[in-house]
Amino acid sequence: MLKNSLFLRGLGIGMFLAAILIFLMNAGSSKLDSFKDNELAHDPGNLSLEQLEEAADRLGYEVKPAGQADDAAGEAGYTRDEVEAEIAKAKSEWEKGRSSDDPTGKYVRSFYISPSMTSNEVANVLLDLDLITDKSAFISIFDERQLHSKIQLGVYVFEDDPEMEDIIARITRS
């Protein structure tokens, strides 16, 4: 009797899950059908201005001719040259490592040393963050002083450009 009740319970649960799956598939199918019926899905390139404005209005957008000022804000959008100039400015600030919002002008870099990291992996992270310039010199110091097993896990924050000796002292706490 016990085997039969387990079988019937499993059959019932399976039928219930199948019904939910069929319901979800039908719900998704109806959404797909409504998208296929949309005139924008068939040929969006050949819309008239009225059709484009109607579609934009349905989606909560507004169609404006190029260069027209926004009535609410009183200003026009950025031109391509202005956008490219702002991107170049932001990129140069990022490359310098200086943020225009940072009043101190310090370049702060942080990283995390996990328990399973080796000195070679730590050297790779430090090299990626430009905290060290020579990975082999870093590893050779670890070899000379036998510091490979003394790396302490945790989050480390360095400002500006610390010396390699300072980095080694902090991550090994020696």
Per-residue pLDDT at 91: 77
CA separation, residue 39 to residues 42, 47, 49, 64 (Å): 5, 9, 14, 21
**What would the mean pLDDT of 41-60 be, rounded to a whole number?**
75
Per-residue pLDDT at 115: 83
In a domain, 53, yes or no: no
Count of domains for the chain? 1
| Domain that residue 137 falls in | 108-172
- CB of 119 closer than 8 Å to CB of 152: no
State the Cα–Cα distance between residues 70 and 67, nearest whole angstrom: 9
CATH number at residue 127: 3.30.1490
SS3 64: coil
State the Cα–Cα distance between residues 17 and 87, nearest whole angstrom: 52
Q: Could you give the maximum distance between any two Cα atoms of the chain, in Å?
A: 80
State the Cα–Cα distance between residues 146 and 159, nearest whole angstrom: 27
Q: Across the strands, what pairs with 112?
A: 155
Closest CA to 158 of 134, 119, 126: 126
In a domain, 167, yes or no: yes
In a domain, 30, yes or no: no
pLDDT in tens, 80-111: 788 788 888 887 776 665 444 555 667 788 88
pLDDT in tens, 132-145: 999 999 999 989 99
